[in-house]
Amino acid sequence: MLRVITNSEDETIKLAKKIAKQINENTIIILIGELGSGKTKFTEGILTYYGLEEEISSPTFTLVNEYNTSNFNIFHFDLYRLADIDEFYSIGGEEYFEKGACIIEWGEMIESALPKDYIKIVFSKDNQDENKRIIEIEFFGKSEIKL
Ligand SMILES: Nc1ncnc2c1ncn2[C@@H]1O[C@H](COP(=O)(O)OP(=O)(O)OP(=O)(O)O)[C@@H](O)[C@H]1O
Ligand SMILES: [Mg+2]
């Protein structure tokens, strides 16, 4: 497990760019943490690395948005409004795992549907400092990232 502290939105974006460089079409990252903890900012960092930042829109009402890098697709999920894991199966959620990299906000809801290789990133806010986030990165299966 890796633990990183960021002291600004920009530092979280910088961390995401470092990770973006190391992802591929098989990467699955679930992002966990309360409202406003930085999950979308982190996703923005990933997309910015691939020159896709202009296109980011919250997938809140569609559950998933698709982006295309020159080499692979990136699917950005926001599962805040997902009722339960059955709804994920019924939208064909698992099929995306085969189609490209998946970045999944509120991904704890579908953790049991994931293939064995994935990365779990947990964002925590700090009571004292509104710009501080504690970011814990956990690796499952053969997933790996170097910071
Ligand atoms: N260190 C930090 N890292 C990331 N965001 C930060 C940090 N400090 C302050 N912020 C602010 O916190 C907010 C994070 O919002 P963001 O939309 O990324 O959260 P979220 O986890 O996606 O929330 P939601 O669950 O509503 O989708 C932004 O307004 C951002 O400017
Ligand atoms: Mg969000």
Q: Does the pLDDT at position 58 exceed 80?
A: no
Nearest one of 87, 90, 92, 119 to 104, comparing CA atoms: 119
pLDDT digits (tens, 9 = 90+) for 26-39: 999 999 999 999 99
Asked, for residue 43, whether it belongs to a domain, the answer is yes
pLDDT digits (tens, 9 = 90+) for 119-136: 999 999 999 999 999 999
Asked, for residue 145, whether it belongs to a domain, the answer is no
pLDDT of 61 reads: 66
Q: Is 6 in the pocket of ligand 1 (CB under 6 A)?
A: yes
Q: Show the domain range for 81.
A: 2-140
Torsion of CA 100, 47, 79, 41, to 10 degrees: 150
Nearest one of 108, 23, 29, 38 to 76, comparing CA atoms: 29
- Average pLDDT of the residues of the chain: 95
Q: What is the pTM of this model?
A: 0.96
Asked, for residue 76, whether it belongs to a domain, the answer is yes
Ligand 1: atom nearest CA of 123 is 21
Confidence of residue 13 (pLDDT cuts 50, 70, 90): very high
Could you say which ligand is closest to the alpha carbon of residue 133?
A: 1
Q: Work out the percent of the chain whose per-residue pLDDT is above 90.
A: 92
Q: Does the pLDDT at position 56 exceed 70?
A: no
Asked, for residue 146, whether it belongs to a domain, the answer is no
pLDDT of 88 reads: 96
How many structural domains does the chain have?
A: 1
Asked, for residue 147, whether it belongs to a domain, the answer is no
Asked, for residue 44, whether it belongs to a domain, the answer is yes
CA of 18 to the centre of ligand 1 (A): 18
- CATH number at 119 reads 3.40.50.300
Asked, for residue 16, whether it belongs to a domain, the answer is yes
